[in-house]
């Protein structure tokens, strides 16, 4: 009886032990080809490549380890993927936002780059050509040797970037274009239908972006008018003035800016004066700085800016006069030193 009972207990223990072993999760171990990710933002658009990095390990890579004329996973292990947060353009074709399996077909001279709609495969083993979204050609270039495969964004400009696959002694470039202004304006439109629609600042900010970049001026006009209806002030009137100037309406632009200056505070007048100074409109800048002095006669900074205007015009005596007025009023030691140093330079000329 005891023997039967012991045997039964042993069977039960074996049963639970077997189930316990089956229930265990496998341990995470390091990949030989380690996972990597690289991201570049162009405008508001994120471009992300996720991949694994195989090593050469003394092997002949191109044509051997990676055969020619065969679809290659462009990395190791899982599917190499490329993800776009917004639509982009590659090889003249619009690529919708989303994730794509990135594959390549190497040859001795010209490579085929593939964006495949299926991005969750294991390498290229589950690759199907019918799922291709885009195929285009790329010319590899010779480069210094690196042991581990690497992706990088070699150049990044305001509207484009070059993604490069670099391994062994080859680099393969992929040119990606982003219609930044269209994407930004689309996001503005979405945002201005939400809570931001009730405030003048976001409408003016959106309009100013379009004016600064000379793009979507029809939308800029709509947004700046909405901003003015919500709160008429220096900032949105100045934006509307610049828009009128871009559209060739010079008289309207001048009238709007004159009205804007009557509503401006000291900092806004001062900043506008420096904007004119930067655009080499020195006489207009001096006129604006004079207005600031008249409106804020207790401000050392107003006199300091007027002095800088005269200095840029080459009227040294007036520059010295107004720098001295600013010096008598300023309290900050750093600013005092700067003005004194400037006066010494002017006196030596």
Q: Is residue 183 part of a domain?
A: yes
Structure confidence at residue 34 (pLDDT): 84
Q: Is residue 26 part of a domain?
A: no
CA atoms of 192 and 230, how far apart (whole Å): 13
> Which of 205, 231, 263 is at the close of a domain?
263
Domain count of the fold of the chain? 3
Is residue 39 within 8 Å of residue 69, measured between CB atoms?
no
The set of long-range contacts for 107-110, using a CB threshold of 8 Å and a minimum separation of 24, is 107/68, 107/69, 108/62, 108/63, 108/68, 109/139, 110/137, 110/138, 110/139
Q: What is the mean pLDDT of residues 304-332?
A: 95
Please enumerate in sequence order all residues whose Cβ is within 8 A of that of 69, keeping only pairs 6 or more positions apart, or say none: 105, 106, 107
Q: Is residue 14 part of a domain?
A: no
Q: What is the mean pLDDT of residues 64-69?
A: 95
Both 201 and 322 in a single domain? no
Q: Is residue 4 part of a domain?
A: no
Query: What global pTM score does this model have?
Result: 0.81
Both 248 and 125 in a single domain? no
Q: What is the mean pLDDT of residues 264-276?
A: 95
Q: What is the mean pLDDT of residues 27-38?
A: 79
Q: How many residues does the chain have?
A: 349
Is residue 145 within 8 Å of residue 27, measured between CB atoms?
no
Parent domain of 332: 272-349
Q: Which two tokens stand for residue 54?
A: 């195989």
Is residue 263 within 8 Å of residue 233, measured between CB atoms?
yes
Q: What is the mean pLDDT of residues 16-24?
A: 53
Residue 236 has pLDDT above 70, yes or no: yes
Residue 261 has pLDDT above 90, yes or no: yes
What is the average pLDDT score of the chain?
92
CA atoms of 205 and 214, how far apart (whole Å): 14
Q: Is residue 40 part of a domain?
A: yes
Structure confidence at residue 11 (pLDDT): 47
Both 252 and 310 in a single domain? no
Is residue 177 within 8 Å of residue 89, measured between CB atoms?
yes
Structure confidence at residue 156 (pLDDT): 87
CA atoms of 91 and 115, how far apart (whole Å): 12
Q: Is residue 7 part of a domain?
A: no
Q: Which two tokens stand for residue 75?
A: 């990395």
Both 142 and 43 in a single domain? yes
For the stretch 211-229, pLDDT in tens is 999 999 999 999 999 999 9
For the stretch 146-192, pLDDT in tens is 999 999 999 889 999 999 999 999 999 999 999 999 999 999 999 99
CA atoms of 255 and 51, how far apart (whole Å): 58
DSSP output for 276-345: HHHTT-HHHHHHHHHHHHHH-TT-HHHHHHHHHHHHHHT-HHHHHHHHHHHHHH---HHHHHHHHHHHHH
Residue 28 neighbours by CB distance under 10 Å: 6
Residue 10 has pLDDT above 80, yes or no: no
Is residue 22 within 8 Å of residue 47, measured between CB atoms?
no
Q: Is residue 193 part of a domain?
A: yes
Both 167 and 224 in a single domain? no
For tokens 């632009």, the residue is: 253
DSSP output for 211-265: HHHT--HHHHHHHHHHHHHH---HHHHHHHHHHHHHTT-HHHHHHHHHHHHHT--
Both 333 and 348 in a single domain? yes
Structure confidence at residue 32 (pLDDT): 73
CA atoms of 83 and 101, how far apart (whole Å): 9
Both 215 and 258 in a single domain? yes
* Res. 95 pLDDT band, cuts 50 70 90: very high
Q: Which of 213, 221, 214, 223 is nearest to 192 (CA)?
A: 223
Both 166 and 193 in a single domain? no
Q: Is the dihedral of CA 44, 177, 180, 115 positive or negative?
A: negative
Please report, for the domain that includes residue 322, its CATH number. 1.25.40.10
Please report, for the domain that includes residue 224, its CATH number. 1.25.40
Structure confidence at residue 28 (pLDDT): 67
Both 337 and 226 in a single domain? no
User: Tell me, what DSSP letter sits at residue 92?
Assistant: T
Residue 130 has pLDDT above 70, yes or no: yes
> Which of 118, 150, 177 is at the close of a domain?
177
Both 199 and 322 in a single domain? no
> Which of 161, 177, 193 is at the close of a domain?
177
In the chain, what percentage of residues exceed pLDDT 90?
A: 85
Both 229 and 205 in a single domain? yes
For the stretch 283-297, pLDDT in tens is 999 999 999 999 999
CA atoms of 167 and 186, how far apart (whole Å): 38
Q: Is residue 240 part of a domain?
A: yes
Both 215 and 255 in a single domain? yes
Structure confidence at residue 7 (pLDDT): 46
Q: What is the mean pLDDT of residues 84-95?
A: 97
Q: Which two tokens stand for residue 200?
A: 């003048």
Structure confidence at residue 339 (pLDDT): 93
């Amino acid at each position: 009886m005891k023997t039967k009972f012991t045997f039964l207990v042993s069977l039960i223990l074996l049963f639970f032990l077997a189930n316990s072993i089956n229930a265990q999760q496998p341990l995470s171990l390091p990949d030989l080809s380690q996972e990597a990710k690289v991201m570049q933002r162009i405008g508001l658009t994120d471009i992300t490549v996720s991949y694994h990095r195989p090593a050469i390990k003394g092997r002949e890579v191109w044509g051997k380890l990676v055969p020619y004329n065969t679809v290659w996973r462009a990395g190791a292990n899982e599917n190499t993927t490329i993800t776009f947060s917004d639509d982009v353009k590659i090889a003249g074709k619009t690529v919708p936002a989303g994730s794509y399996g990135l594959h390549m077909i190497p040859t001795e001279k010209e490579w085929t780059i593939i964006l495949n709609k299926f991005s969750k495969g294991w390498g290229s083993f589950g690759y199907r050509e019918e799922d291709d979204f885009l195929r285009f050609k790329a010319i590899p270039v010779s480069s210094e040797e690196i042991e581990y495969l690497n992706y990088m964004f070699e150049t990044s400009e305001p509207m484009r970037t070059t993604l490069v696959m670099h391994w062994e002694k080859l680099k393969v470039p992929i040119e990606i274009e982003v219609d930044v202004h269209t994407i930004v304006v689309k996001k503005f439109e979405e945002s201005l239908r939400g809570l931001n629609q009730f405030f003048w600042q976001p409408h003016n900010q959106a309009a100013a972006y379009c004016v600064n970049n000379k793009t979507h001026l029809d939308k800029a006009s709509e947004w700046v008018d909405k901003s003015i209806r919500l709160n008429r002030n220096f900032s949105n009137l100045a934006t509307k003035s610049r828009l009128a100037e871009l559209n060739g309406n010079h008289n309207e632009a001048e009238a709007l800016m004159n009205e804007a200056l009557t509503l401006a505070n000291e900092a806004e007048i001062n900043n506008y004066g420096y904007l004119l100074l930067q655009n080499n409109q020195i006489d207009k800048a001096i006129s604006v700085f004079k207005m600031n002095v008249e409106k804020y006669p207790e401000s050392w900074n107003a006199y300091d800016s007027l002095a800088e205007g005269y200095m840029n015009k080459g009227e040294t005596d007036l520059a010295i006069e107004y720098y001295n007025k600013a010096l008598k009023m300023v309290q900050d030691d750093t600013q005092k030193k700067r003005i004194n140093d400037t006066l010494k330079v002017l006196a030596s000329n």
